[in-house]
Structure 1
Amino acid sequence: MVVECNELGQPIKRAGSLLSSFLGSVARRGQLCLLNYHKWNDMLPSYKVELLKFVQKKFVLPPESHDWVLKSLNRKWKEYKSKLKADWKREGMTEEEVARVCPPDVYHHQWRELVHYWFSERGQTYSDIGRAARASQTIPHTSGSKSYARLRAEFMEDHGRKPGEVEFYKMTHTHRDGSFVREKSRDIVDRATSLISERIGESSSIGNTRGVEAQVFTELMGSERYGRVRGYGVGVTPTQLSAVGRYTQDVRQSSSTAEVNDLKAEIKELKQSHQTEMQSLRAQINQITSLLHQFVPPQVPDNSSARRDGDASDP
């Protein structure tokens, strides 16, 4: 199956959805994504190469999507480990009690190492950090399993433009009936809309509106997490988004310049063609004139009748 991606290397459309589901099953396979690694970055690069090769047996992936595939596997791998912990580790159980009962789809040696990490000081520290981070996320989105990349692609296809920051936030935080998922999300959209109207003033250019909207949204939502871009999903970094924006702008400028140059070249070619045609026409006229002089004798005035009239009038 051929996977189509957006300009950021994120899979879109139905193939993107199927790829995402497939990656979830890959992340749960212990022979591919080993559970005894504590962090994704600790996994050997050779393992990741094999992961890509395995995925490419099922899907035709553009090169720019490889980074997204690995990042998505990383997230799904971590989510799988979190689910195992929630399902099999109970409050008050000892390490030995948890390690003794291995889930049916997990290798025993990987399970024991994973459980040992959960009970380690480092593992418990990271667990507390993750619990606090989840507690701070008080506004859930309503996009379900559909990725932000797919939502943006569908919006672009329907409207012929990209959604604004506040516009996309509203899309992903309201139910189908238009109601907001939380009162706080309604407040964010209302405040953002008011601030945007105040700051734009009489200027209504698309570029100015987008810039103000992005600025207002950042002010209301706070600074981004390091290496993440709010509202874009897995695999997108601030540097990448900025580079794509500059590239898109350069492409548009280059395209406009190329169009102008093409028009100038076309006009020049038309002028040259016109001059050539005029020269050819003049040559044909000269040739016809020459032939006329050659085959048609010059007209000589006939004065004989005038002389006869004069003779007849003499006495």
Structure 2
Amino acid sequence: MSMLLINYESWHQMPDSNKNQALDNIKERFALEVSDTYIKKPRREIAKCPAGDAEDRERVGTSSRQKQKFTHTAGSKSFACVAEAEELSSGQKVGRLQLFDITHRKKDRSPMTLEAGEIMEKLKDKKAEYEAIASSDSSVNLGDIDNRIITEVLGPERYGRVRIQGSGVNPTQYFGSNSQ
């Protein structure tokens, strides 16, 4: 009987011939009935899956993606990570309007889509309008302007969501306990 060398970092690196040899050695020494049902079971499960299921999900995902009005360029980074990176590089706090601008532009600084460009223009115009009002009226809260502008341009926030903050941020966390 030959000895089995098991000096591999990972079981996956061991050649199949060595694995088969190990199985043969075990079968010789012990009265085991080794079944291959553990291999066949997943194949049966896959075979049970309706053929059009994956295609249906893909079609739904594609149509949902096409319905998006504007896409962001943050990729797999969260909006919080993008904001933090920008704050570290600029040394200033990043507001929601600035974060929208950062995450909806291509590398060449052009808007991702025409819709995103139009929204950026509206946001910029509203900001200028509110800043003009704030300069003449001291009762206007400058800290709340970004939130008002976003609500006016993009519509009210969906329940339990805060736009341009990514997942995981709810209105109570962002706006406080007496949130919108």
Normalised by the shorter chain, which TM-score bucket? Answer: 0.5 to 0.7
1:225 aligns with 2:134: no
The change in CA–CA distance for 1:135 and 1:202 in structure 2 (over 3 A counts) is closer
**Which residue in the other structure is 1:187 paired with?**
118
**Which residue in the other structure is 1:174 paired with?**
105
Which protein is richer in helix relative to its size?
Answer: 1
Contact 2:69 2:115 in 1 (8 A): no
Contact 2:119 2:153 in 1 (8 A): yes
The change in CA–CA distance for 1:145 and 1:197 in structure 2 (over 3 A counts) is same
Report the 3-state secondary structure (helix = DSSP H, G, I; strand = E; otherwise coil) of the residue aligned with 2:112.
Answer: coil
Number of matched residues? Answer: 134
Offset at residue 130 of structure 1 (A): 5.9
TM-score, normalising length: structure 2: 0.57
CA RMSD of aligned residues (A): 3.6
In structure 2, list runs of 5 or more residues that go unmatched.
1-38
Deviations 1:16-67 (CA, angstroms, capped at 9, x unpaired)? xxxxxxxxxxxxxxxxxxxxxxxxxxxxxxxxxxxxxxxxxxxxxxxxxxxx
**Which residue in the other structure is 1:149 paired with?**
80
Q: Find the structure with the greater CA-based Rg.
A: 1
- Aligned-residue identity in percent: 28
Deviations 1:110-169 (CA, angstroms, capped at 9, x unpaired)? 6467x35x75xxxx7x98876654332132212223221111111222333322222111
TM-score, normalising length: structure 1: 0.35
Deviations 1:160-216 (CA, angstroms, capped at 9, x unpaired)? 3322222111101112221111122111111111112112325358x8333122211
The change in CA–CA distance for 1:224 and 1:135 in structure 2 (over 3 A counts) is farther
- Measure, in 2, the Cα distance between the counterparts of 1:143 and 1:163: 15
Report the 3-state secondary structure (helix = DSSP H, G, I; strand = E; otherwise coil) of the residue aligned with 1:201.
Answer: helix
- Measure, in 2, the Cα distance between the counterparts of 1:195 and 1:180: 18
The structure 1 residue matched to 2:168, chosen from 235, 260, 266, is 235
- Measure, in 2, the Cα distance between the counterparts of 1:156 and 1:245: 27
